[in-house]
């Protein structure tokens, strides 16, 4: 216990030492002075803030800030003094009483307070209001601060019940106090400034060096309460998130940057970054990970004797305040929800229980909407000016002008579910006095829907009658001028599923429409909406920050009498991924089973919902193989390995060898490890077999088995510490090599196939591809490279080129042969061959390929084309050795859909060979290439458009010098 206290004390000493404005008295000093200090110290800044906050509507942040202030100063001393409970309570009481009296003393404030409550709940809607409120704010907030501790006192004296029966004066006072204290709770648990949620996403951070090797201690749940940590750099064994989680679980809070309020900077290495320098400047304590563990562990060990008083103490501090606060909140909500009086709270909740919270707490005025205020404003402006822009001025000119300036006739609200699009649309139109007609496209799609839209676009009155036989519409029909209508097309991206042309119809009606149309969709990049986007003003709603959401959630929770702290709610907000509706639903669901919701509860409940998003395969593999992975539950493991069904097994396969299993206690000579590796390897192979069943035979129900075989079994056999196998390897999981190797294999296979085709085309060989590789290739290589080493240059080149042309081996094939027989540690057979020889070889080959009989059509180089057509064309000509050919035998009739035209000119026998090749491809551009070799005009094989599959027809005719008859085959592909 001494430990912990020391920690706390130290922190405070440092705080004081840092020379912050509010020089706090040492904990041991008189309590009265504290309270005095608090009040005076607080009122100044918070009062100042209060004006600013209304205007900028940064209500949350500043509120929290304020709250934090109080928390900061109050809580730690109390904890520090925990053993002296008895001493303290009277002091507190005094202090609270003192505060408690202050509101009563000033009657003026009361009225303001009510206003204030209103504001808090509703975020005051109009600016006029603000200006009225501000003058009083200073007083009020000052008193509000002062009262913070009052409820504590109440609790301490156990007279909670009396509250209900308090005098008329008291409620307001209590309300103030309640709010203040609740704010304190919020602050204590909350994060620092808003908008730091995304902090973690910047940049990659190194992995902890001893990742997962330390046992994470468990301590008393609130042992870190009231402490603020900042994490910097890489920790020894914990990931950043893990550390954060650990601290939060034990009641501490984690902020993003160092400030005066930071108690500790958690870091294991002094990286000298901004955080550490600032921490030094402020005199913040440095804490290593081990130190943190010790702290937690100490509390855990020594907890039993002393946990109780401490806990109760903490409770006495918090729970009553909260309870009170709830009641007060409920009261303040009265204005909002038109509910019953605070005394009737219970009955009220019962009354409303059949209403879902999402409906119950749906914002009632636009300013109530969380986040996206500017968009709401934009929507508001758009709607307010709609009539002026499009309707009132009848002339087309004006409309055009308007469209020039960027104003669109319709607006498209887009954004994820549950962030208040529909609500904003409704509220805004309601506020501006528009009659909102909501067409829920996903409900009644199809023809009628289309009709509706058409109708609207058509004549003003008729159509809408068709739309809904609604009283208000009839009313509108009577007096179209006076009543304004707005059409809300909800879920437009779900529309075209059932009815084709729905979007087009919508666009048409937008063009004609005389009423504003608000379209709402989830995904603005949806293919269906592409055309619609051009006609609409796009307003992309963003997810509210978790602080914003937590703020709202806590209002709801308090109104419902739930005891939740803000950290938990922030966690909830984070888990639901910005979906307010879901958050409320979850909260309501949680409230059914418990009245006090803690961080861990939410963590557990919503475990699965988070998993889906942010687990990368690497993280998953890390976790599976991690030191502590033995503790994972089966479903967690399945979730991890399912995070990417293709990649995780590959990563596992690539890295399982690297792990030294922690399950093996004493492993002499590594036999056990080897055995485990063999078992893991077999299991991975099992996974492959299952995978074939899944993919080839579509047995997707096997995917869990595959997951178990290929990920979970190997990981559970071998999880432990990772070690490097190669000298300079980084100790991180490698990316699976299989993908790369497989694609290289594919490439080589294609090359081999090319070589194979060429050799087949030479008609000298008919061996299969496999035999070619396995048996012939060695000899090919020898025949191709050996002469270059042994024979004199000219002779060598001649021999090789002859061999190449005999087998129709192109230069690419030559490279293929080299490539395929390349092995690690073998020297390249071309090493030691003089560059001059190589150059001569290339030259000779080029020369030869001109004069030479060409056997495979893709070996003919076409001018203007770098390479032969991608789709190979193989034309085979009669080999010179053939003597038995008759005229009929020369034309090889191709199968069904190919035309072969073979023209041969006998007259050109002496003239060297001519090759005219006409390649006609009908598929794309009708590319036509004419090739003249040796520049002699000749009859060419003319090819008229290929019929059949409409592919490409190519025709090559070639004459061989000295031979009366050549034959051409044409290849079509």
Partner 1 sequence: MLWVDKYRPKTLDQITVHQDVAQNLKKLVNEQDCPHLLFYGPSGSGKKTLVMALIRQMFGPSAEKVKVENKTWKVDAGTRTIDIELTTLSSANHVELTPSDAGFQDRYIVQEIIKEMAKNRPIDSKGKRGHKVLVLNDVDKLSREAQHSLRRTMEKYSSYCRLILCCNSSSRVTEAIRSRCLNVRINGPTEEQIVKVLEFIGKKEGLQLPSGFASRIAEKSSRSLRRAILSFETCRVQQYPFVGNQAIPPMDWEEYITEIASDIMKEQSPKRLFQVRGKLYELLVNCIPPEIILKRLLYELLKKLDAELKHEVCHWAAYYEHRMRLGQKAIFHIEAFVAKFMSIYKTFLISTFG
Of residues 738 through 767, those in contact with partner 1 by CB under 8 A are 738, 741-742, 744-745, 748-749, 752-753, 756-757, 760-761, 763-767
Closest CA to 120 of 217, 39, 210, 50: 50
Choices 14-22, 202-210, 410-418, 892-900 (CB under 8 A): range interacting with partner 1 = 892-900
Tell me the closest approach of the beta carbon of residue 904 to partner 1, in angstroms: 16
Q: Single out the residue of 217, 238, 232 nearest to residue 299, CA to CA.
A: 217
Least spacing, CB of residue 428 vs partner 1, in Å = 47
What whole-number distance in Å separates Cα of residue 160 and Cα of residue 319?
Answer: 12
Helices and strands (H, E) in the chain, number of each type:
40, 17
Candidate residues 303, 657, 848, 929; the one interacting with partner 1 per rule CB under 8 A: 657
Q: Does the protein bind partner 1 through residue 671 (CB under 8 A)?
A: yes
Site string for partner 1, 911-950 (x = CB under 8 A): --------------------------------------x-
CA dihedral 112, 115, 116, 122 (to 10 degrees): -170
Q: Which stretch binds partner 1 (CB under 8 A): 5-13, 473-481, 575-583, 737-745?
A: 737-745
**Which residues partner with 156 through β-bridges?**
none
Q: Reduced to 3 states, what is the DSSP secondary structure of residue 239?
A: coil
Instruction: Tell which positions 674-713 bind partner 1, by CB under 8 A.
Output: 674-675, 677-678, 680-682, 684-689, 691-692, 695-696
Q: Quick one: 401 or 782, whose CB is closer to partner 1? A: 782
The DSSP line for 679-738 is HHHHHHHHHHHHHHHHHHH--GGGHHHHHIIIIIHHHHHH-EEE--SSTT--SSPPPPHH
Instruction: Please report, as residue ranges, which positions from 787 to 816 form the binding site for partner 1 (by CB under 8 A).
Output: 806
How far from chain centre, in Å, is Cα 618?
Answer: 15
The least CB distance from residue 973 to partner 1, in Å, is 6
Which H helix or E strand runs over 744?
helix 737-761
Size of the site for partner 1 (CB under 8 A): 90
**Which span sits near partner 1 by CB under 8 A: 149-157, 211-219, 463-471, 878-886?**
878-886
Please state, in angstroms and rounded to a whole number, the distance separating the CA atoms of residues 537 and 390.
14
Round the CA-based radius of gyration of the chain to a whole number and report it.
Answer: 40
Least spacing, CB of residue 803 vs partner 1, in Å = 8
Instruction: Report the nearest approach of partner 1 to the CB of residue 198 (Å).
Output: 39
CB of 880 to partner 1, least distance (A): 13
Beta bridge partners of 521: 414
Q: What part of residues 765-784 is at the interface with partner 1 (CB under 8 A)? A: 765-771, 773-779, 781-783
DSSP string, 812-866: HHHHHHHHHT--TTPPPTTTT--HHHHHHHHHHHHHHHHHSPP-SGGGSPPTT-S
Which part of the chain contacts partner 1 (CB under 8 A), choosing from 55-63, 361-369, 873-881, 915-923?
873-881
Tell me the closest approach of the beta carbon of residue 942 to partner 1, in angstroms.
21
CA atoms of 915 and 912, how far apart (whole Å): 10
Closer residue to partner 1 (CB): 200 or 739: 739
Tell me: does residue 896 bind partner 1 (CB under 8 A): yes
Is 634 a binding residue for partner 1 by CB under 8 A? The answer is no
Task: Give the nearest distance from C-beta 658 to partner 1 in angstroms.
Answer: 7
> Whole-number minimum distance, CB 840 to partner 1, in Å?
20
We find the least distance from the C-beta atom of residue 664 to partner 1, in angstroms, to be 13
C-alpha pair distances (Å), 753 with each of 246, 388, 616, 811: 58, 72, 38, 15
Q: Decide if residue 786 touches partner 1 (CB under 8 A).
A: yes
SS3 sequence of 572-596:
HHHHCCCCHHHHHHHHHHHHHHCCE
Q: Which of residues 13-42 bind partner 1 (CB under 8 A)?
A: none
* Cβ closest to partner 1, residue 786 vs residue 932: 786
Within positions 393 to 452, which residues make up the interface with partner 1, using CB under 8 A? none
Helices (H), 414-516: 421-431, 447-457, 460-467, 471-478, 502-512
Decide whether 417 or 879 has the Cβ nearer to partner 1: 879
CB of 821 to partner 1, least distance (A): 5
If one asks whether residue 965 binds partner 1 (CB under 8 A), the answer comes out as: no
Enumerate residues 185-204 that contact partner 1 by CB under 8 A.
none
Residues between 844 and 863 with contacts to partner 1, criterion CB under 8 A: 856
- Among 667, 929, 951, 961, the residue binding partner 1 under the rule CB under 8 A is 951
Which residues lie closer than 8 Å to 748 by C-beta, 6 or more apart?
Answer: 816, 819, 820
Q: Provide the minimum distance between the beta carbon of 677 and partner 1 in the complex, in angstroms, as a whole number.
A: 5
- Position 971 contacts partner 1 (CB under 8 A): yes
Give strand pairing partners of 485.
435
Q: What is the DSSP letter of 396?
A: H
315 belongs to the binding site for partner 1 (CB under 8 A): no
Smallest distance, Å, CB 707 to partner 1? 15
Exposure letters 857-874 (e unless 16+ CB within 10 A, then b): bbbbbbeeeeebbeeebb
Q: How many CB atoms lie within 10 A of CB 847?
A: 11
Does the protein bind partner 1 through residue 872 (CB under 8 A)? yes
| Cα–Cα distance, 877 to 875 (Å, whole number) | 6
């Amino acid at each position: 216990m001494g430990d912990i206290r020391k920690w706390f004390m130290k922190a405070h000493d440092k705080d004081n030492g840092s020379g912050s404005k509010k020089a706090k008295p040492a904990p041991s000093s008189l309590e009265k002075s504290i309270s005095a200090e608090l009040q005076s110290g607080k009122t100044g800044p918070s009062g100042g803030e209060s004006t600013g906050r209304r205007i900028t509507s940064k209500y949350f942040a500043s509120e929290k800030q304020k709250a934090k202030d109080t928390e900061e100063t109050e809580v730690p001393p109390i904890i520090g003094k925990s053993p002296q409970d008895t001493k303290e309570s009277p002091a507190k009481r005094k202090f609270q009483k003192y505060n408690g009296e202050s509101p009563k003393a000033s009657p003026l404030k009361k009225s303001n307070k009510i206003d204030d409550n209103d504001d808090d709940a509703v975020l005051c809607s109009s600016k006029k209001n603000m200006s009225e409120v501000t003058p009083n704010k200073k007083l009020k907030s000052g008193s509000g601060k002062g009262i913070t501790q009052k409820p504590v006192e109440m609790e301490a004296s156990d007279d909670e019940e009396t509250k209900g029966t308090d005098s008329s004066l008291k409620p307001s006072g209590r309300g103030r106090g309640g709010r203040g204290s609740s704010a304190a709770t919020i602050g204590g648990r909350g994060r620092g400034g808003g908008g730091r949620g995304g902090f973690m996403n910047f940049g990659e951070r190194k992995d902890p060096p001893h990742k997962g090797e330390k046992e994470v201690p468990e301590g008393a749940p609130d042992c870190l309460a009231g402490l603020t940590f900042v994490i910097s750099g890489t920790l020894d064994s914990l990931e950043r998130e893990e550390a954060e989680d650990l601290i939060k679980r034990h009641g501490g809070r984690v902020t993003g940057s160092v400030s005066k309020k930071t108690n500790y900077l958690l870091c294991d290495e002094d990286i000298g970054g901004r955080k550490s320098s600032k921490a030094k400047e402020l005199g913040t304590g440095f804490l290593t990970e081990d130190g943190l563990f010790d702290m937690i562990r100490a509390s855990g060990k020594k907890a039993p004797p002393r946990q109780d008083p401490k806990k109760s103490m903490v409770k006495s501090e918090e729970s009553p305040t909260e309870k009170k606060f709830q009641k007060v909140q409920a009261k303040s909500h009265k204005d909002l929800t038109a509910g019953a009086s605070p005394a009737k709270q219970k009955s009220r909740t019962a009354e409303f229980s059949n209403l879902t919270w999402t409906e119950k707490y749906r914002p009632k005025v636009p300013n109530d909407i969380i986040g996206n205020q500017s968009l709401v404003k934009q929507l508001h402006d758009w709607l307010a000016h709609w009539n002026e822009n499009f309707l009132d001025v009848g002339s087309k000119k004006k409309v055009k002008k308007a469209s020039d300036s960027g104003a669109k006739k319709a607006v498209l609200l887009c954004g994820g579910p549950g962030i208040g699009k529909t609500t904003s649309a409704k509220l805004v139109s309601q506020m501006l006095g528009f009659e909102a007609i909501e067409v829920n496209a996903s409900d009644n799609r199809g023809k009628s829907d289309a009709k509706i839209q058409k109708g609207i676009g058509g004549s003003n009155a008729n159509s809408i009658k068709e739309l809904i036989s609604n009283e208000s519409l009839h009313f509108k029909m009577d007096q179209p001028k006076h009543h304004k209508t707005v059409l809300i097309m909800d879920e437009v991206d779900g529309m075209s599923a059932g009815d084709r042309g729905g979007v087009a119809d919508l666009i048409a009606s937008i063009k004609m429409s005389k009423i504003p149309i608000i379209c709402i969709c989830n995904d603005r990049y949806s293919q269906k909406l592409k055309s619609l986007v051009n006609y609409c003003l796009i307003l992309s709603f963003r997810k509210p920050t978790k602080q914003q959401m937590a703020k709202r959630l806590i209002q709801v929770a308090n109104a419902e009498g739930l005891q939740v702290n803000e950290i938990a709610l922030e966690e909830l907000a984070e888990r639901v991924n910005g979906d307010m509706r879901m958050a409320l639903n979850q909260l309501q669901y949680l409230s059914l089973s418990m009245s006090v919701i803690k961080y861990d509860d939410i963590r557990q409940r919503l475990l699965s919902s988070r998993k889906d998003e942010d687990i990368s395969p690497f993280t998953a593999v890390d976790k599976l193989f991690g030191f502590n992975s033995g503790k994972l539950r089966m479903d967690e493991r399945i979730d991890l390995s399912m995070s990417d069904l293709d990649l995780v097994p590959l990563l596992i396969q690539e890295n399982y060898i690297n792990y030294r299993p922690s399950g093996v206690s004493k492993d002499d000579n590594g036999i056990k490890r080897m055995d485990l590796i063999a078992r893991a390897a077999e299991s991975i192979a099992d996974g492959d077999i299952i995978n074939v069943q899944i993919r080839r035979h579509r047995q997707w129900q096997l995917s869990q088995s595959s997951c178990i075989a290929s990920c979970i079994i190997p990981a559970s056999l071998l999880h432990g510490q990772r070690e490097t196998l190669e000298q300079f390897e980084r100790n991180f999981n490698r990316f699976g090599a299989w993908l790369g190797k497989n694609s290289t294999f594919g490439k080589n296979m294609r090359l081999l196939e090319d070589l194979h085709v060429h050799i087949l085309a030479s008609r000298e060989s008919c061996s299969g591809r496999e035999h070619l590789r396995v048996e012939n290739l060695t000899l090919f290589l020898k025949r191709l490279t050996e002469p270059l080493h042994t024979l004199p240059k000219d002779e060598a080149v001649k021999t090789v080129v002859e061999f190449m042309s005999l087998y129709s081996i192109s230069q690419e094939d030559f490279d293929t042969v080299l490539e395929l027989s390349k092995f690690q540690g073998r020297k390249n057979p071309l090493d030691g061959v003089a560059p001059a020889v190589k150059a001569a070889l290339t030259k000779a080959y080029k020369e030869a390929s001109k004069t030479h009989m060409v056997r495979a059509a893709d070996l003919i180089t076409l001018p203007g084309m770098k390479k032969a057509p991608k789709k190979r064309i193989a034309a085979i000509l009669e080999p010179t050795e053939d003597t038995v050919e008759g005229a009929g035998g020369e034309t090889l009739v191709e199968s069904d859909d190919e035309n072969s035209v073979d023209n041969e000119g006998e007259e050109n026998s002496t003239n060297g060979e001519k090759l005219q090749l006409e390649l006609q491809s009908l598929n794309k551009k009708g590319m036509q290439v004419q090739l003249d070799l040796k520049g002699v005009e000749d009859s060419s094989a003319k090819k008229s458009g290929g019929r059949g599959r409409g592919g490409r027809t190519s025709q090559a005719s070639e004459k061989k010098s000295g031979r009366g008859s050549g034959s051409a085959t044409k290849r079509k592909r």
